[in-house]
Amino acid sequence: MGSNIAVVFDLGNVLLPINLELTYSAFARFTENFSAQEVQYITETEGLWVPYESGLETCSEFRDRLRARFQLECTDSEFDFAFSALLLEFPVGVVSLLQEVKSNFPVYLLSNTSRIHSHLFLQNDSLFSLFDFVHLSYEMGVSKPDKEIYQQVIVSNQLQNKRIVFFDDNKFNVQSALEFGWDAVLIDPINSFSQIRNHLQQYVN
């Protein structure tokens, strides 16, 4: 049965812990006009990262747009450091988890992310070399939960005849993937690895 399955992982809070509040707080330190809570609210309600993570603007355009929106006084390197504050350390056991899954199924990554962030996390070659293919939203020109992104994964990897098991921590991404026909699982970051193992057990021959 496992030969008919392909596994697709989100990255943030599925395989890599993230804390968005660290970035909102870091940005707030570069402005006198917005608190960390206000930075968070505006970022989320206005979808400020979406164009950048969808590959629709350059790093410079993204930095300038957020500088203008929040009246940030910071250099490019200070901006990148603040924007990347949300990225935490890969947990012990993440490589062994992927090796375990890969022993039974092909594995793919599908992450809403940016050039700034990927430049940092892709340095972990021992992890990312395990994926059959790494799909990053800014390179694809579209981001989750747009169903076009799932279609791209299917076509790029010739997975039309596979059942796709997808793990993501965002309820909107999971809902759109379910509607697309994937077996999508909403991940609780605290129990991510056990959720993944438990769910995939049903597909192991």
Res 3: pLDDT: 73
Percent of the chain with pLDDT over 70: 99
- Are 2-18+90-203 and 20-83 in the same CATH fold? no
C-alpha to C-alpha distance for 133 and 164, rounded to whole angstroms: 14
Q: Which residues of the chain have pLDDT under 70?
A: 1-2, 205
CATH code of 20-83, in short, is 1.10.150
Query: 2-18+90-203: which CATH number, 3.40.50.1000, 3.90.1170.50, 3.40.50.20, 3.40.50.720?
Result: 3.40.50.1000
Does the predicted model carry a pTM greater than 0.75? yes
Degrees (nearest 5) of the Cα angle 155, 160, 162? 125
Res 204: pLDDT: 85
Res 147: pLDDT: 97
Res 2: pLDDT: 57
Query: What are the extents of the domains in the chain?
Result: 2-18+90-203, 20-83
Amino acid at 59: C
Res 205: pLDDT: 66
